Amino acid sequence: MNESKLVLLDTFASREEAISALAALKEEGIFSQIDENFTSNAFPNLQVLNGVKLYVHEDKLEKAASVLENMQPITENFEEINYSEEGAPEDFEPSEDFTSTSENGPKPKGSSSGCIAALGLIGFGFFLGWMLTYGLALGFYNKDKFSDKYDRNSDGKVDEIFYNDPFGNLIESTRDNNFDGKMDEWVDYEDDLISNLKLDTDFNGVANTLSTYKHGNLVSTIYDHDEDGTPECFSFYQNYILQKVEWRTPEDKIVRREIYSKGVLAEVYKLDTNGQLRLSEKINFKGHQLPLE
C-alpha cells in the first residue's frame, strides 16, 4: 500500500494552467491534486497573487516534475476533464482542506454559496436585533412621556396634545376645540400623515363624525347625527373635492344620493314609488334646475 504523503509539485498563476498540468500527469498515470483556497476560488483576479498549488505523492515527485518540463499545451475542455478521485490510489484520502468532489473535481470548503449564506445569516441577525429593539421600545412605551402638550388660549388647561412613538413618529393627537376642558377631536397618523379623524361636533362627549384619509388625502366622511352608533350619511371625496353624498337606512339601503361636479351639486336621486333610486333633479353650476331628459 502506498503510504507516501502529498507534497507540493508546483504553483501556477491560474487554475487553467494547474488543470493542464493535472491532465498531463494523469496521462502518465500520476495522480495529482489541486489545492484552490477560498480566496482564489471566490476572487479569480487574486489567483495571480496566491497561486494555485498542485500536489503529488512524494515518491512520484521527480517523475511528475519531468512530465511538466516536457508538457505540451493542453487543448481539451477544462470542464470535461475528470480530475477528482478517478485514478487515485485506493488508500488515498483527500486532505482536510477539501470536501467531497463533484463532477468537475474537488471544491474547497469555502464557496460563494457559503459566503451568500453567511451574509444572509448576518442580515437576519440585524433584522432580529432591530425587531428586538423595536419590541422593547414599545414594551416600555409611555404615551405621556412622548407627548407634547399645549394651552392655546392660555387658560391654564391643556387643550391640545400630540403623541409620538419612542422613535419620534407622530401617531395620535387630541384637541379641545371649544375649550370646555373636554377633548372633542381625535386624530390618528400613519407616517406622520393623518389617517383618521373623529369629531364630537355638538361637544357632548360622543364622537359623531369619522373621516378617513389615504396618504394624507381625504377619502370619506361618515356622520352619525342621532349618535346611535349607526351612521346615516356618507360623503366621498377625491383630492379633497366632494364627489358623492349618500343617505342610508340602518339596513344600509340608499334612500338618497347626491352627485357633485367639481364640488358643486349636479344631480339628486330619490326613491320612486317602487322603492328604486331615480334621477329627480339636475342642477347647473349656478344652482338652477335643469329639465330631466
pLDDT for 122 equals: 79
> What is the dihedral sign for C-alpha 106, 110, 112, 117?
positive
Query: For each successive 10 residues of the chain (293 residues), what is the average pLDDT?
Result: 73 77 84 64 49 84 85 46 42 42 45 66 72 59 77 94 89 95 95 94 94 94 93 94 95 95 94 93 90 83
Residue linked to cell 515518491? 59
pLDDT for 28 equals: 85
pLDDT for 106 equals: 46
Round to whole Å and give the CA distance between 155 and 181: 10
Alpha helix (H) residue ranges in the chain: 15-27, 38-42, 47-50, 61-69, 112-139
Classify residue 233 as left (phi > 0), alpha (psi -120 to 50) or beta. beta
pLDDT for 34 equals: 78
pLDDT for 272 equals: 92
Residue 64 neighbours by CB under 8 Å, 6+ apart: 9, 25, 28, 30, 32, 56
Residue 81 neighbours by CB under 8 Å, 6+ apart: 19, 22, 23
Residue linked to cell 412605551? 141
pLDDT for 199 equals: 96
Round to whole Å and give the CA distance between 87 and 98: 18
Structural domains in the chain, CATH included, are 6-109 (no CATH), 147-290 (3.90.930.1)
Closest by CA to 165, choosing from 126, 185, 191, 183, is 191
- Total-model pTM: 0.52
Round to whole Å and give the CA distance between 216 and 268: 29
